[in-house]
Amino acid sequence: MTRFPLEGVRVLELGNYIAAPTTGRMLADFGAEVIKVERPGSGDELRRWRLYAGTTSMLFRTINRNKKSIVVDLRTEAGQRDVRTLATQCDIVLENFRPGTLEKWGIGVDALNAANPTLIFVRISAFGQTGPMATRPGFAAVAEAYGGLRELVGEQDRPPVRVGVSIGDSIAGLYGAFGAVMALLDRQRHPGKSIPLQDRIIDVALNESIYSMMESLVPDYLAYGVQRHRTGGRMEGIAPSNAYLCADAKSVVIAGNSDAIFQRYMTVIDRPDLAADPELAANDGRWARREELDDAIGAWTARRPRDEVLEILGEAGVPCGPIYTAADIVEDEQYLHRNMIQSFDVDTGDGAPTSVGFPGIVPVLGGRSLPIGSIGPDLGAHTDEIRRRYLRKNQS
């Protein structure tokens, strides 16, 4: 592509951590100019999360790619004036402070809307901007519990566990980006029309973002009284689909749960008796006998190394795959073909810059990931540029 779809859109990011910055990352990935406001001295706390060496973590570099960093103290009158001035020249404001914080500083929705009555506001918080829990603090870990996810992750005879990434923050960030683009489209479709403020506020709650991904969790409960529980590597009501250990101590995931695939699956693992069993022809019967099926599959994989298991099942058209680590991902031909690993020279604390691969841009346009313009910037790297372009001429 010779252009990016969001070129010309300008975003003021007041967020920290992962949720709102993920929204900013997605908008920046597709061409928006994202001005990230950071506190003096330390900047976004994410700069030090998973910091193994150097001064800025790869987590920050990843989530804040393609953005510009300006240092502004939001607690001061000068900093608040800078925000109001920047807001007059932006299309979108992103924030994930506890509700009421920006209002306390004089840079809340009403103040910024008075400065720019076309602004779109993406507000991400633990429980949303309204309701009895609105002012409660909360990170994604708490939201994942409230949203119903945590209860379903792990083994049934053990306490719930968490997935290894901040999935609640990331999902909320996706909703924030979708809401922002939705509001931009609404504005574009009604040129010259004043869109009410309440229609320009994208209110994203972490717990609701998780809850919205829980499929039929609540309808199943209300309709049938079903309380879902943790099922380990399985998915409730779907069989056979699980992870299985191979002879070389490596594991594979095999999802042979469709009716047609199941027949081929059982035949290829030398269990034609299971393929022909009428009780197993449909998914409900297979779920009822899931232990038996997993035992049969596990016995078959245990006699073969992982690559042989994948080759046999792949030839039979049974969905399967290895359980990748980071080392596997960076050598995978599919990721490389679609430009999903893009390298930049980065300060890793060892003196000379090191070439580091970063995740490509999703979704893909034109067959391959769009190129990343820059990784997350050093603290305040664009302060002079932004002040020169947007602040000095408007505050003189």
DSSP string, 281-315: SSHHHHHHTHHHHHHHHHHHHTTS-HHHHHHHHHH
Mean pLDDT of the chain: 94
Least trusted range by pLDDT, from 118-122, 188-192, 202-206, 379-383 = 188-192
Q: Give the Cα separation of 218 and 70 in Å (integer).
A: 44
Catalytic residue among 169, 199, 220, 273: 169
pLDDT reported for residue 395:
60
Q: Give the Cα separation of 314 and 304 in Å (integer).
A: 14
pLDDT reported for residue 192:
84
pLDDT reported for residue 132:
95
Alpha-carbon dihedral of residues 138, 67, 337, 341, nearest 10 degrees? -60
Least trusted range by pLDDT, from 147-151, 190-194, 333-337, 392-396 = 392-396
What is the β-pairing status of strands 341-346 and 241-245? unpaired
Flag whether pLDDT at 290 surpasses 60.
yes
Mean pLDDT for 240-269 is: 95
8 Å CB contact between 36 and 64 = yes
pLDDT reported for residue 349:
82
Where does the pLDDT of residue 352 fall: very low under 50, low under 70, confident under 90, or very high at 90 and above?
A: confident
Helices (H), 46-158: 58-63, 77-87, 101-104, 109-115, 140-146
pLDDT reported for residue 350:
77
User: What pTM does this model have?
Assistant: 0.92
Helices (H), the chain: 19-29, 58-63, 77-87, 101-104, 109-115, 140-146, 167-189, 206-211, 217-224, 259-268, 272-276, 283-288, 290-301, 306-315, 326-329, 333-337, 383-386
Mean pLDDT for 172-187 is: 97
Element (H, E) at 33: strand 33-38
Flag whether pLDDT at 318 surpasses 70.
yes
169 is catalytic: yes
Q: Residues 375, 376, 380, CA angle at the centre, nearest 5°?
A: 130
Q: What is the pLDDT of residues 339-351, one digit of tens each?
A: 999 999 998 887 7
> Read out DSSP for 140-189?
HHHHHHHTTSGGGSS-TTS-----SS-HHHHHHHHHHHHHHHHHHHHHHH
Measured CA to CA in angstroms, residue 187 lies from 11, 114, 200, 202, 307 at distances of 15, 18, 9, 14, 53
3-state DSSP assignment of residue 252: strand
- Provide the phi-psi class of 307: left if phi over 0, else alpha when psi is between -120 and 50, else beta: alpha
Q: Within 10 A of 269 (CB to CB), how many other CB atoms are there? A: 23
Between 352 and 259, name the one with better pLDDT. Answer: 259
Tell me whether the omega of the peptide bond preceding residue 240 falls within 30 degrees of 0, making it cis: yes
Measured CA to CA in angstroms, residue 316 lies from 247, 250, 264, 269 at distances of 20, 21, 7, 10
Flag whether pLDDT at 1 surpasses 60.
no
| Alpha-carbon torsion (184, 189, 193, 195), positive or negative | negative
Where does the pLDDT of residue 2 fall: very low under 50, low under 70, confident under 90, or very high at 90 and above?
A: low
Mean pLDDT for 138-163 is: 92
Separation of first and last alpha carbons in the chain? 40
Flag whether pLDDT at 72 surpasses 90.
yes
Q: Within 10 A of 342 (CB to CB), how many other CB atoms are there? A: 17
- The share of the chain scoring above pLDDT 70, in percent, equals 98
